[in-house]
Chain A
């Protein structure tokens, strides 16, 4: 019997807690109820909507952000658990207006169609390249297996990651 008494639950006090996050280099202080997930906090409280909410159960990767450098699904991360941590989102990938090499490659190699998986895909791929600047195909597969894309068939995405790591496959005309 895992479900507890709803009356007791209604009486429960679950006060908001103040959490400090360093989001894309900027410290932010937000007050969140424990049930608020990181993706909700980033989108609704910090106001960065580049991170996408899709399945909200860790099965698509659209909400992937880097938490202290690790790619995590922010839908299965409680914001209260991130106090004092660094969060990097898709908005933090550009250097001013300048796109990162990975972002450029995504555009050049047809890794983007509807774009909804793109922010999460970019964050997973960024984490990959930071750890392994010249990943082989199997490493790319393992790094991006948690990011679903329904548009591209992944061909453009693999090409883009290879290109961004200087392993360009000749582009077919």
Chain B
């Protein structure tokens, strides 16, 4: 039950949604699947005066562009993404990431755009504050931080929990962002500010319109893993998404992209780990070395009751395992050629 009133407007097109946002100002929020926004409204972490619903906007199914890129409408529901034959065939990592989100119902409701634009999370933040933690924290406009009492007022160590974002970062996706002044393009990594207070770089009247992924090169392989305590119905303990491209020799790494989720205020790249891989012959020792470096540089925030040490341990193992997956896929692909 949401215990405050708000207005509700439908937009028939994305342009109209942006225009409404511009008119309504800061107090309005876009509503797509609602699976992140509505729990936050229930907890009164978000109290928008008006919701601009995107329900009425026609959603285009994922399609291949002339250059071989795949364009995904931001309003694509995660379950549709997971089931789309084009995605299963061309971007299986994205299908796996979509399949890892929440529960079946959440995937039938939530959209890829909404998943990227979700709020950061923290145990203290994500509950009603009727009698627990009554004075608001920094993120709620107050003057304290419950989990990290010594934080400065501009620091909120809440964690961005998207499962899809790391996969799209590993895939080097680009975004189409619609604003009052028209469309702009941005790399997926530019979407995230790194601040727990305002995790996204979107302007007040901007809307994420689509996600585009360039065609996969040859000798390319992926690995994805979401660590959870239970099999489903969970935010991640950590999320690893990796992509490796091999040189024609089939042993040397040409390029590595590593993205980690559920670690910090934003999904992270692992530049040190990537540089340990790029140009190197990928043997087990090298993968372990890179995974260890990746876990160390991630410097995960303790979140959802897990200690920093355990999160680092978990990242170290699963980063290595996903790198192994990616390597074996890259080699298989080469074999198939």
Contacts and interface: CB of A to CB of B under 8 A. Distances in A.
A76 B39 contact: yes
Interface string B31-48: 100110011001011111
A114 interface: no
B136 A3 contact: yes
Interface residues of A, number: 39
A148 B231 CA distance: 12
A58 B35 contact: yes
B296 interface: no
- Please indicate which of the listed interface residues B1, B31, B77 has the most CB atoms of chain A within 10 Å of its own CB: B1
A35 B34 CA distance: 12
A61 interface: yes
Interface stretch (A65-73, A91-99, A102-110, A158-166): A65-73
A73 B53 CA distance: 18
Interface of B: 1-8, 27, 31, 34-35, 38-39, 42, 44-49, 51, 53, 55, 77, 79, 99, 102-106, 108-109, 136, 139-141, 231-233
Interface in A132-155: 141-148
The 5 closest A-B pairs by CB, nearest first: A146-B103, A145-B232, A34-B8, A14-B5, A1-B141
Nearest to B109: A72
A3 B320 CA distance: 42
B38 A78 contact: yes
Interface of A: 1-4, 8-9, 12-14, 17, 33-35, 37, 40, 56-59, 61, 64, 70-73, 76-78, 80-81, 124, 141-148
Contacts of A72: 105, 108-109
Given A3-B141, A34-B5, A57 B103 contact: no
Given A37-B2, A78-B31, A78-B38, A145 B47 contact: no
